[in-house]
Amino acid sequence: MKKTLCILLAVLLITALFSGCGEPEPLHVLVDLDYYVLMNYVGTYAEDAVAPFLEWVADLGGPSDIVLEVLPKDGVERDTALTRLRTEIMAGGGPDVFIMACDAGDSYDSAEPLFPIPEKAMEVGMFLTLDEYIENAQYMEWDKLTPAIMNAGKNEYGQQILPLTYTVPVSYFMKSEVSHSVSAKTDWEDMLSDESRTLAAAASWIHLTENEPELYRLPPWEGHHLEYILGDLADYKEEELLFTEEELLRRCEEIFGVHEQYLCGALDASPVCFQDCLSTKFTNEWDTARFNGISKTADLTMVPLYSDDGGVTANILYYAAVNANTKRPEDAFFLLDVLMDRNSQQYSDIYGWCLTRNFGIPTHEDLLQEEYPTRHEGAGYLSESNYAQLCEIRDSITNVRFQGGLDLVLDSMFEEIYYAEMEPEAKDVKEIVSQAYRKMEIMLRE
């Protein structure tokens, strides 16, 4: 592998030396997005969703000489493309603009993303600092983008990543049956110790994946949501985990403890609720039977999954950034400026079919109201009461992280634990947790 990288690097450097001073290179845009299951029979999302957006950019006076590259879905083609792109970036080149799924997209079967941990990519200077360009933006309304989410793309040097969508696990109760004020002071321990058992019911997620209709069902271990409970997972500058191995083991035991309460009926007295991550699909693509008979028009009480630190952890699902190597920073930012515009987040195919098609909500805070419905298979918005609940959740976000990277290790770890709990002769849970902890430490130092 090292030999291949060296050869590719040499070729790129020679090419750069002997290239003339002719026409400027076109703007190279790399996208790696999830196009849901429709990509299997409708066509590529580049043709159906991203290309029209790029045409819109050109119509607004932005760059029209754009070369769009779509990362292959998986296999050798993807591995080859990732090697080439990383070599180009190391040589001072690479795409000008990145529009990326944090974990390469839900339908990509754990394919490796170009930047496995975006926070680390920021720390090593992969992306252009955008503060100067944001100050002169023509389309985005920076003060209307959820501050806690946007700050996750910022480090000591400035804003380097623009988060596009995010999500939070939420339990939805009928407002007539449950009253709850979302608070940044409420934490995971409060959920476990709640005498009414309502918060305990909102802490139990494993059973949801076990009981889901097959169309929606995920493997049961994916209901652990450890990455939301643990909050900040790491200090990426110091390359240190922010929780101990003992804390990780204890949280796993507590998650299974709540699940045991569910299985033995201790939570049966809790009011009916449905659970899922924040998504635009709750505004229109509403399967009442799936959501325990709760109507779309009902006034709801939303109870987020609280973190160890208090408040709510949000996971960023998609982001955009400009390559620090770009020779066309103004053109590259123009594209992102339009991408963050409210009209783009509200109407464009790139949001409707890719960024919010499966789950997640956009960052512009005007959206999801009746005045500003999102385009998700029709106009989608929340009732005034439910929108107010969403605002409470946004205001209680205390931790924000990019999905993928370390939490993929947590997924794998919890899968092992899930089966170990059912098979007495399986590996010891403490050993599973210890191995996962060591693996995450190594990832931070790579």
Domain boundaries defined on the chain: 26-167+315-399, 169-313+401-445
* Chain-centre distance for alpha carbon 55: 26
* 8 A C-beta contact, residue 32 and residue 104: yes
pLDDT beyond 90 at 294 = no
Of the listed ranges 56-60, 260-264, 345-349, the one predicted with least confidence: 260-264
Fold match, 26-167+315-399 / 169-313+401-445: yes
Of the listed ranges 45-54, 158-167, 183-192, the one predicted with least confidence: 45-54
**Dist. CA 238–CA 234, nearest whole Å:** 9
CATH topology of domain 169-313+401-445: D-Maltodextrin-Binding Protein; domain 2 (3.40.190)
pLDDT beyond 60 at 255 = yes
Q: What is the DSSP letter of 145?
A: B
* Most confident range, picked from 146-155, 173-182, 296-305: 146-155
pLDDT beyond 60 at 264 = yes
Show the tokens assigned to 263.
Answer: 């299985």
3-class DSSP state for residue 279? strand
**Cβ partners under 8 Å of residue 47, min gap 6:** none
Query: For residue 402, what is the enclosing H or E element?
Result: strand 397-402
Mean pLDDT within 192-207: 84
In CATH terms, is domain 26-167+315-399 a member of 3.40.190.10? yes
For 54-83, the pLDDT digits (tens) are: 999 999 999 999 999 988 887 899 999 999
Burial of 4 (0-12, 13-18, 19+ CB in 10 A): exposed
What pLDDT is recorded for position 2? Answer: 47
pLDDT beyond 50 at 308 = yes
**Cβ partners under 8 Å of residue 265, min gap 6:** none
Of the listed ranges 210-214, 280-284, 353-357, 416-420, the one predicted with least confidence: 210-214
pLDDT beyond 60 at 340 = yes
pLDDT beyond 50 at 108 = no
70 forms bridges with which residues in the sheet?
Answer: 31
Mean pLDDT within 434-442: 96
Mean pLDDT within 18-33: 77
**Pairing label, strands 161-167, 312-322:** antiparallel
Please state the three-class secondary structure of 84-125 as a single string. HHHHHHHCCCCCCEEEEECCCCHHHCCCCCCCCCHHHHHHCC
pLDDT beyond 70 at 369 = yes
What pLDDT is recorded for position 17? Answer: 44
What pLDDT is recorded for position 110? Answer: 58
Of the listed ranges 80-94, 98-112, 245-259, 310-324, the one predicted with least confidence: 98-112
Of the listed ranges 230-244, 336-350, 417-431, the one predicted with least confidence: 417-431
Please state the three-class secondary structure of 280-334 as a single string. HHHHCCCCCCCCCCCCCCCCEEEEECECCCCCEEEEEEEEEEEECCCCCHHHHHH
For tokens 């010891």, what's the residue?
428
pLDDT beyond 70 at 209 = no
**Dist. CA 95–CA 97, nearest whole Å:** 6
* 8 A C-beta contact, residue 222 and residue 411: yes
Position 24 confidence tier, pLDDT thresholds 50, 70, 90: confident
What pLDDT is recorded for position 260? Answer: 81
For 83-107, the pLDDT digits (tens) are: 999 999 999 999 999 999 987 554 4
- Closest C-alpha to 319, from 114, 51, 131: 114
